[in-house]
A and B are shown apart, each in its own frame.
Chain A
Amino acid sequence: MAANLSHAATSGFGPIGRRLLVVGIILLALLVTLAPFFVLFGNSLRPADEFLSDKSGLWPSQLTFEYYAAVLSANGTTFRILLNSVIVTAATTVIAVTTGCLVAYGLARLKLPFRLSTIIGLTFLIVRFYPKITIAIPYFVLMRDFGLRDTYAAVVIAHVSMTLPIVVWLMLAFFEDFPKQLEQSAMMDGCGILRRFFSIVLPLTVPAIATAALLTAFFSWNEFLFASAVGPLNAKTLPVEISGFITDKGTVWGPMSAMGTVIVLPVMVLALIAQRYLVRGLTAGAVKG
């Protein structure tokens, strides 16, 4: 073993070459991931005339804050749309996580006949894989017929239907790994299934639920296709508003970039705060303890 390891470490590039290679790959990955954000942020501060010159670099030579001022004041419309996004995201998260947890717990615990648990579970898995655009039109028709067109409800229902499977699958893995004896112990202590869930399982599943909530919130906050299909005006969210900067007279680069930065910032901050939970929650299904 030891001989093998030391051999592997000294072969090829040697230890220093190896380390440089690894660092290089990491830097490359970071570059690919972060470059668009760099450009986005740069553009949000770039004076208008620089957009037309082909000699301007990736980073503007002069900085201007006029787009932010414009976007954030715009007669309060931006705040209205920001509020829409917050409402849609919050409602989607609460509904998808609550329902998803209960569904997953039911699937994990109830003994359904005909392998129904497996079939239902698989259904939730499969609906994650179709191209979303295929049902955007049916959704539009459905919402119109229900008289829900351009309401929060329409966007929230669409987002819940897409995030629920993610929540169910994440929580299912978690509940199936939940120590069986703890629940048996609760049963002996006199709990029925609901009491067991709320007093014992739920408090011990908080990291996973937090993960599910964050993933749902990020999805809903970022989602464009369905939001634009069923919520074009009154229920307009930030991503939909951004697309409005692409006009028939050309793309309004500056304000679009400023708005984009406004959308990305809260997500980044939240992800940074929650990163410990996220990592723990995502691996919790695999590793116990």
Chain B
Amino acid sequence: MAGLILSNVWKKFGSVVAVQALDLEIRDREFVSFLGPSGCGKTTTLNMIAGLETPSEGQILMDGLDVTKVPPRLRNFAMVFQGYALYPHMTVADNIGFALKVRNLDKAEIAKRVADAAERLELKEVLGRYPRQLSGGQRQRVALGRAFVRDPHVFLLDEPLSNLDAVLRVQTRVELKRLFADLDTTAVYVTHDQAEAMTMSDRIAVFRHGVLQQFASPLDIYRNPANRFVATFVGSPPMSVVEATLGDDNQLRAFGTSIALPEAVLGKLKVGKSYDLGLRAEDLVLAPDGQLKMRVDLVEHLGAQTIVHLSSSQGRLIAQSSPTEPAKAGDMVGIRLDPAGLYLFDRQSGAAIVTPGLIRQN
């Protein structure tokens, strides 16, 4: 169990800057996710925490101790790799017990701990098999088992679910959440799947191009994003973004209509200036009396949810409708939007100026 501090950490590979000026404080027993698109520096950051990569600059502290240059074998961190990295020439039992064997634990103790882990991960029947004789889901559990037998200071997981099919992924996500709730150990979880990050984490660190965009709780990330990138990256279906201008009547003009803004946020905006207006599907409701009139392009039925893609000469939106009153492609529909759910971003920098979180606070 340990807290981690990354202070002004940089990583460069030749001319590629993989991680830039990263400051991050992970609390003891916290479950933190690194979220971001491919190539944004998640794995690199995780590897630096693990000791597999040395930062080009900056420091990594564990419980106040500088571990920047401490080799991985002395850190006692456990890692689950993206491709599992099981040892092909060892049985499942040997794979799980290898770290303990390296630490010279006695045979009986190793056997006991391996049996415990196998019990917990439902691997008892396959302990004698080799990795190539396992299904994807079993391999993934062996990879977890290797980490769980160890009682490490910190768990590091690099997209542990990315090789599983959709059903198994959701199922394992829930199991993982239970396991980690029991373990009560610091964990860093890398993923590019926002649903995993949102459901499992105490806090999420969102990365882009090697730069930390925001580090906050899942709800904050969703309702109070730091900028347009975070807002559009998190949320499914993705947020719609359109240009909007603040008129001199203090109403926002977008899609050829006017939207009244809450008093409290007006101070942050300038009359006559253009902003990026962000709208999430759940704040756009199909209603005959809605102020926006748009044409339905495409309907996606997800069962509990129906996603409706809309367009007009002014732009496109993604909205939600209830499955009981389905719209059809080609229909003209009205849309009601909830002013408490709107996001406004600076058009140049992308910085968030108004968010639902902010509106609610006021």
Contacts and interface: CB of A to CB of B under 8 A. Distances in A.
Interface of A: 179, 181-182, 184-192, 195, 199-200, 203-204
B49 to A, nearest CB: 11
Interface stretch (B73-81, B265-273, B277-285, B342-350): B73-81
Nearest to A200: B87
A181 B81 contact: yes
A204 B87 CA distance: 9
Nearest to A179: B85
Contact of B78 (A188, A191, A203): A188
15 contacts: A181-B81, A181-B82, A182-B87, A184-B79, A185-B85, A185-B87, A186-B98, A187-B73, A188-B73, A189-B102, A190-B99, A191-B73, A195-B102, A203-B89, A204-B88
A182 B82 CA distance: 11
B83 interface: yes
Contacts of A195: 102
Residue of A188, A189, A191 contacting most chain B CB atoms (<10 Å): A188
B35 to A, nearest CB: 22
Contacts of B51: 187
Interface string B18-54: 0000000000000000000000000000010011100
Given A191-B73, A192-B73, A200-B87, A184 B81 contact: yes
B81 A204 contact: no
A185 B81 contact: yes
B72 interface: yes
A215 B37 CA distance: 48
Contacts of B83: 181
Interface of B: 47, 50-52, 71-73, 77-79, 81-83, 85, 87-89, 98-99, 102-103, 146
A190 B82 CA distance: 19
Nearest to B143: A185
Contacts of B50: 184, 188
B100 to A, nearest CB: 9
A188 B146 CA distance: 10
B81 A189 contact: no
A60 B72 CA distance: 71
A192 B71 CA distance: 9
Contact of B99 (A182, A189, A204): A189
Given A181-B83, A195-B102, A188 B89 contact: no
A31 to B, nearest CB: 43
B114 to A, nearest CB: 14
Nearest to B83: A181
A21 B51 CA distance: 60
A203 B87 CA distance: 10
B87 A190 contact: no
A191 B102 CA distance: 7
A204 B71 contact: no
Contact of B98 (A184, A189, A204): A189
A139 to B, nearest CB: 41
A184 B89 contact: no
B186 to A, nearest CB: 15
A196 to B, nearest CB: 9
B87 A184 contact: no
Nearest to B81: A181
A188 B73 CA distance: 6
A73 B195 CA distance: 82
Contacts of B98: 186, 189, 199
B85 A190 contact: no
A270 B241 CA distance: 71
Contacts of A200: 87
A181 B79 CA distance: 11
- CB-CB nearest 6 A-B residue pairs: A189-B99, A181-B85, A185-B85, A190-B102, A188-B79, A187-B72
A184 B85 contact: yes
